[in-house]
Amino acid sequence: MTFEDLKPWIHPAVVLAASVALGLLFKFFFVRKMAQLSQRTKTDIDDLIVEAVKRHIPLWFVLGGIVLAVRSSPIDPVHHHEAEQASKVLLILSLSFVAANLLTGMVERTTARAGATFISTSLTRNVLRGVILVVGGLMVLKSFEVPIEPLLTALGVGSLAVALALQPTLSNLFAGMYITLSKTVRIGDYIELENGTQGFVIDIGWRATRLREGANNQVIVPNARLVDMISKNYALPDPQQAVTVPVGVAYDSDLERVEAVALEIAREVQASSPVAVRGFEPAVRFQAFGASSIDFVAVLRVAQAPDKAVLVHDFIKRLKARFDREGIEIPFPQQVVHQAKD
């Protein structure tokens, strides 16, 4: 192959190489500068735009370079349309991904500021992203002049058979959407299931909801099962929780003194514990004449349910030490036996 044979390809190769170089230059210099400038602004929109497009900019330059290189190359003009059509398809798909990332990011930040958490689940992110990509796919078919209406009709008929075959999967999918939209369970909530499982909600997926127990184990609950379960959400309507600590004292105790001492310790714990709710007034309430003691409860308040054990631990230690100094007895379980005389 001589230089004369390669000469017609030099200009297209230069155009293609220049487009690749410009794309990389734009990404590593211009986009980086734009990211630094966007961090100084008060709005988050520019940050989202830069984050969404920065990975796709080199591809756009390459696609433009391919179109220009093909037009200036000795390739038969009949094939120019094919190259342009392929570049157009890739551009549509790229823009679909950009739109999906940008839209999910905007909705997620907006709902987070409003106090909502449903968009932070993987289910809603994937559903929203899937809808945008499906629209992009339909636009690709439209660019190839493929009739979309018969395809939609076929999908509608076929979806019935798919729904019957994937009934358990779809049941979990729609249950997950119901959980997400109803906000009865949200990311970060501490919940308890009817079987006694407790943990923080870390994600609501298309098939299952994942919990993290206090022992750092992960519990996976199918969404359909979770909807049917009786569950307790400790974060709703307020994460603050009342803490009741049962105590028993001997029958010969001075109950007025017992109440005063227990209330004093409860106030100390409520004021000093880092997990307690500041400003809450504790209470002491006698409840019953037990088998071997007079029973009462001390009522305190904790900021969130998982911290109950810390507050109870602190209160029991302080109350036992104070009862020992005051001579107030916490009796062991006992039985009194009366023996009849002959």
Per DSSP, the residues of 308-332 read HHHHHHHHHHHHHHHHHHHT---PP
Residue 76: how many CA atoms within 13 Å on its side-chain side? 3
How high is the pLDDT of residue 136? 72
Work out the pLDDT band at 248, boundaries 50, 70, 90: very high
For the CA atoms of 200, 202, 208, 214, the dihedral, rounded to the nearest 10 degrees, stands at -40
Work out the pLDDT band at 255, boundaries 50, 70, 90: very high
Name the DSSP letter for residue 213. Answer: -
Average pLDDT of the segment spanning 153-171:
60
Mean of pLDDT over the chain: 79
How high is the pLDDT of residue 124? 63
Residue with the bigger pLDDT between 326 and 138: it is 326
Lowest-pLDDT range of 27-31, 227-231, 284-288: 27-31
Q: Where are the beta strands (DSSP E) in the chain?
A: 190-192, 198-204, 208-212, 218-222, 232-233, 241-249, 283-289, 294-302
What is 147-237's CATH number? 2.30.30.60
Amino acid identity of residue 82, one-letter, is: E
| Alpha-carbon Rg for the chain in angstroms | 34
CA proximity to 286, closest of 323, 321, 254:
254
User: Domain boundaries in the chain?
Assistant: 3-143, 147-237, 241-326
Starting at the edge strand that comes first in sequence, how are the strands of the sheet with 232-233 ordered?
218-222, 208-212, 198-204, 190-192, 232-233
The backbone torsions φ and ψ at residue 269, rounded to the nearest 5 degrees and listed phi first, read -65, -40
**Is 143 in a helix, a strand, or coil?**
helix
**Separation between Cα atoms, residue 83 and residue 244, nearest integer Å:** 74
- The reported pTM is 0.56
How high is the pLDDT of residue 270? 93
Report how far apart the first and last C-alpha atoms of the chain are (Å, whole number): 130
* Overall size of the chain counted in residues: 342
**b/e per residue 198-235 (b: at least 16 CB within 10 A):** bbbbebbbbbbbbbeeeeeeeeebbbbebbeeebebbb
How high is the pLDDT of residue 265? 94
How high is the pLDDT of residue 200? 92
Cβ count within 10 A of residue 5? 9
Work out the pLDDT band at 328, boundaries 50, 70, 90: very high
pLDDT single digits (tens) 97-108? 887 777 777 766
pLDDT single digits (tens) 116-149? 444 455 666 667 777 777 777 767 666 666 666 6
Instruction: Give percent of the chain above pLDDT 70.
Output: 73
Lowest-pLDDT range of 18-32, 124-138, 194-208: 124-138
What is 241-326's CATH number? 3.30.70.100
**Is 272 in a helix, a strand, or coil?**
helix
How high is the pLDDT of residue 271? 92
Residue with the bigger pLDDT between 122 and 275: it is 275
